[in-house]
Chains A and B, each alone.
Chain A
Amino acid sequence: MKETIDSLRFRITKRFGTKTVLQDFALEVRGKQFITFLGPSGCGKSTALNIIAGLIPATEGEVWIDGERITHLPPEKRGLGMVFQNYALFPHMTVFVNIAFGLQLQRRPADEIRRRVQEMLELVQLPAFEDRYPGQLSGGQQQRVAIARALVLHPRLLLLDEPLSNLDAKLRIEMRAEIKRLHTSLGLTSIYVTHDQVEALSLSDWVVVMKDGILMQQGPPQEIHDQPVSVFVADFMGFRNFFPAKIAALGPDRDVEAVGNGLRIRGKTRHAFSSGASVVAAIRPDDVVIGGNPADPNSFRGKVDIVEYLGRENETILTLENGSRLWVRAAVCMVPGDNVTVVLPQDRVIFLPAEGTGEVT
């Protein structure tokens, strides 16, 4: 069995005509990791995956696997496995032949092919489906076959292009666990492309956030989730509340106090700001605390506008006294028109550089 890769390294630029899809997108990762390219549609994440697979040529740049330059190899010589969003099974072939296809091309003996296909069908929990045609399977089953078809060749790197986005919500969670199980138990190196941050956080060892063909932030999921470095990444990670401000005071231990739009907010930052710099304070709706003394720091008075019932909690939209909107998620149930005091806990407020605030609505 071919081992998985030790390292993947690339630096690529891709232009379609005058449109730049990937701008000097560079990454270096170790093997046996689960890496996710995360970003909104059109950010170039699928293009990057296709370039690694060899299906699209890069305009500039190189891709290296284990120190070997593979940029000019055609896809069939790269030894990578790929799973597509729409499954891409061969509709005129049975499940067996679909999975056996790659082994047949390698001219393996018939009994080996049979054994390996059977193993794969058991691994993806579809035994006894070998004589069905793809059209006779559900979406989830088709995606299992597609995964089996890629894994049966023991690819040194597995590429998954939004494999779950055509499935319904329940199945998506099931398959997500399934993919994680296969990745771990087979000791694979996987690159997974998605626009869903929950998928990215739950699956990955390493998350790469992209926007407009540019790498915005990379790191372990906890770091991306808790310490986004830009407003874009913060917005993507569920920081719903953004307050433009200017730095008023810098304290020890990364403490920051900023003033903007009539609000004086305290929080933390990872950035080296100077006094007077334009920043954005950000906090997640679920980190806002309802109730407290309006005289305390980071406490503000507001009026409830809209309440949405979400089951275990309510999402409430408040208008603060200065006119800013604040999203709050809490179990407390309020009524539109209520006057309340909210606290933005200081260790939950992060300060980010102001550029890019235009994207936040």
Chain B
Amino acid sequence: MRRGRPGEPSELDLMAIACLLPSFLYVLVMFVYPFFYGVFQSLHPLKVDGFSLANYIAFFSDEYQYKTVAITFRLAVPNTIIVVAFGLLFAYSMRRGILLERTITTILVLPISLGVILLSQGILGFYGGKGWLNQMLLGLGIIEEQLVLTHNFTGVMLSLFMQQFPFCFLMLLGYISGIDPSIENSARTLGATPWTVFRRIMLPLIAPGLAIAFALVFVMSFATFPSAILLGQPTGATRTIAIAAYAQAFEMFDMPYASAIAVIMGLFQLAGLLVIILLRKRMVTAATMGVGKR
């Protein structure tokens, strides 16, 4: 294969194009086409001939529907913050390696391998009304009434945390342990306490990884569907926007309306990502500004 000199654009050759073609076709057929088809469909409602915004107008004028956006945000935002905060806490404290690291990592990461359904069953069995936790607390006399931790908002939060924490933790651990420890060491010899090292040196260096973690966890939480059904109240307190789309598609058989809801969901996720990117920019600028230059 011919290569250009560094700094010069390399010439495209047939081989490279041929190698790219399968993946390009795959993305085209499996993602680009369905995506645009969905957008197109959402703009052509069942009851109207031709192009119309009727589905979008219907969504935002029906409280039962537009409430799902607020519900989803109320789940996704706190969950994202909690997951990333715990992920950061664990990954940062394990960045230099700790005793029994492999065992601890395995335990922390195990939930990924179980799948949502099994995990939900486990949560129901442990945290449910007749579950171990309640039985134990009641038996020990710590509580007098059952704690209601499932089939409500808390249940969904628990489930989301357990699914997403391992991803977030692993990603941040990889990111943080990749930072040269001598950077931290040099800050210590210059007089920085561990907290100052974290705040002024490590946090800004972790910021890009943190932003990615926020983005991924937020998007996953915002699209939550099985957890909201299995551990929540799918018709009430945890009727997320994904459930609304599902109901339109497979209970009302109104695909175009369902597509419109899916597009709306996508737009809100995009908005969330934009906020994260803006926050990250601010954070890095703030950390870079020196006290001496104020």
Contact = CB atoms under 8 A, between A and B. Distances in A.
A and B are partners in one complex rather than unrelated chains: yes
A88 B190 contact: no
Interface stretch (B139-147, B150-158, B161-169, B191-199): B191-199
A97 B292 contact: yes
A31 interface: no
Given A93-B288, A96-B290, A105-B196, A55 B185 contact: yes
A55 B189 contact: yes
Most chain B CB inside 10 Å of its own CB: which residue of A76, A94, A96, A100: A76
A166 to B, nearest CB: 12
Interface in A91-119: 91-94, 96-97, 100-106, 110, 113-114, 117
Contacts of B182: 84-86, 88
A84 B190 contact: no
A149 interface: yes
A279 interface: no
Interface string B193-208: 1001000110011000
Contacts of A110: 291-294
Looking at chain A, what size class is its interface with the partner chain? 35 or more
A101 B187 CA distance: 8
Contacts of B186: 82, 84, 88-90, 146, 149
A92 B288 contact: yes
Most chain B CB inside 10 Å of its own CB: which residue of A78, A82, A89, A114: A82
Contacts of A48: none
A153 B191 CA distance: 9
A92 B205 contact: yes
B246 to A, nearest CB: 44
Nearest to B289: A97
Given A96-B292, A104-B292, A113-B292, A88 B188 contact: no
A153 B284 CA distance: 26
A229 B284 CA distance: 56
Contacts of A50: 185
B293 A80 contact: no
A65 interface: no
Contacts of B201: 90
B13 interface: no
A114 B292 contact: yes
B63 interface: no
Contacts of B290: 93-94, 96-97, 100-101, 104
Contacts of B288: 92-94, 97
A53 interface: yes
B293 A153 contact: no
B293 A90 contact: no
A182 to B, nearest CB: 17
Given A84-B186, A153-B191, A92 B287 contact: yes
B183 interface: yes
16 contacts: A53-B189, A55-B185, A75-B185, A76-B192, A85-B182, A88-B183, A88-B185, A91-B205, A92-B284, A94-B290, A96-B293, A97-B290, A102-B191, A105-B192, A149-B190, A150-B190
Given A84-B182, A84-B185, A104-B290, 19 more contacts: A53-B189, A55-B188, A76-B189, A76-B191, A76-B193, A78-B189, A81-B189, A88-B186, A89-B183, A89-B186, A91-B183, A93-B288, A100-B292, A101-B187, A101-B200, A104-B291, A105-B196, A110-B292, A159-B189
Interface of A: 50, 53-55, 74-76, 78, 80-82, 84-86, 88-94, 96-97, 100-106, 110, 113-114, 117, 146, 149-150, 153, 159
